[in-house]
A and B are shown apart, each in its own frame.
Chain A
Amino acid sequence: MTVPRRHDFDDIPDPFAGAPLTDAKSPPLAMTPSATRRNARSRRVAAAAAAVLLEFGMLAMLGRRSTDGLSARWVLIAIGVPLASSAALVFAAAAGRVRRGLGVATIALAFALCFATIIATSAAGDGSYAGMRLCLMGGMMAGGVPAMIAFSALRHAFATRAFLRSSAFALACGLLGAATIRAYCPNDDLVHLLVAHALPALLVTTVGAVVGARLTRA
């Protein structure tokens, strides 16, 4: 296909050039003031501060782990790989490079695998299941609440690419939650890390991307 050049479309007339339009005079307005730039900036700073305070508050309540435990490389693999792959799929789907169905199916598969692992470990009486519930709930709270705060501060903020941008925020909040729980949880079992730490982050990222796109779209 040849690349279009200047005046290439000039031969096509505009059928609506003379269409009757509504009076172009400025209409009378009756409105409650919307947020201005200054309001929005302070609201976003307050939201970021609230999110950070929440994380520190949770850590103060739960307590920080005393040992360094598993090497950072394994933690990175256990949490980072599933998160990075799901985030890549979400972003790719948002950018239209792959079909959304494929992205959704892959994320659903990741969830199914995580839940299957929970069921299998609980049935086997694996010790790693013991602290799973607290980490799951804590991770979701530590990631989900900042995401909700962020989206309420960013309501109607994105005219374009709302899904992509809200996905980025949701991913950041999911990782924040995972980091907070990692700073508390002394359990270094890889299955535990995958299920109880990566799953909440995954959940926050995917649900946040979908919900956030609706809330932040202008």
Chain B
Amino acid sequence: METLDVTLGPRGPAPREPGRVASGSFAAPSMADDDATQRPTEPDEDDLDRAMNAYADGEDQAFARIHAVLAPRLQRFFLRLGASTRESEDFLQETFFRIHRARSSFAAGSPALPWAYAIARNAFSDHIRRTRRSTSLLGALFGSWTHERAVQGPDVEHDATEAVDRVRVALDRLPPNQREAFVLLRFEGLSVSDAAEVLETSEGNVKVRATRAADAIRRALKGDGEEP
């Protein structure tokens, strides 16, 4: 059994995240134009692709570069999917372990970011499945336990009034498949085709899910208070 002991450092101030993910300055990728399947790569993504190629070829020093680019993105991805900060650190560690274990299967020349997101999603969904199984067993034995909180993670003030809090609440209420599609397209900057690959579904499905999620969030922002 291979082991990867990734010791995460103490939680410090929020580092500047590489890439373009920033509140209010993000431009969503095109989904309807001719270049719908083209994802504009960024310098750090090109570096990530090169580093991942080197890592897959056995250059262990490349891991530092991979970690520098992926760690903040993936941790935010887990937070957006509904994990708490502590859970997101665990998922991050699990994801890097899986990346290490699967590095030989990374196809040369292919983009590393969707591949890493797919592994991260696998780690997250495996945890959800395990949690759901164990909580439903506990629930059957000891009555209804706080299943929803165990699965969904973060503390959310449901009477939040600010826009970001409303978005957070709305995200929390979305069905997982809609939330994943929306998060990947809006916040993680993946193209529709990359998101479809990560979610193992069709591009049309991704568009439908993301649009439904956006509609539900907009309703929440307007204060309709409807369940998505």
Binding site for B on A (CB under 8 A): 1-40, 96, 154, 156-161, 217-218
Contact = CB atoms under 8 A, between A and B. Distances in A.
A174 B163 CA distance: 56
Contacts of B164: 13-15
Q: Is the interface of B mostly helix, strand, loop or mixed?
A: helix
Contacts of B31: 3-6, 8
Interface in B4-24: 4-15, 17, 21-24
Interface of B: 2-15, 17, 21-24, 26-33, 56-58, 60, 63-64, 67-68, 71-72, 75-76, 79-80, 85, 89, 92, 98, 100-106, 108, 115, 118-119, 122, 163-165, 167-168, 171, 182, 185-187, 197-198, 200-201, 207-208, 210-211, 214, 217-218, 221
Given A3-B31, A3-B207, A158-B105, A10 B26 contact: yes
A6 B29 contact: yes
A24 B68 contact: yes
A153 to B, nearest CB: 11
Contacts of B58: 33, 36-38
Q: Is the interface of A mostly helix, strand, loop or mixed?
A: loop
The 10 closest A-B pairs by CB, nearest first: A23-B9, A17-B23, A40-B104, A26-B64, A36-B58, A218-B102, A157-B105, A15-B168, A159-B118, A15-B164
A37 B52 CA distance: 11
B57 A38 contact: yes
Nearest to B102: A218
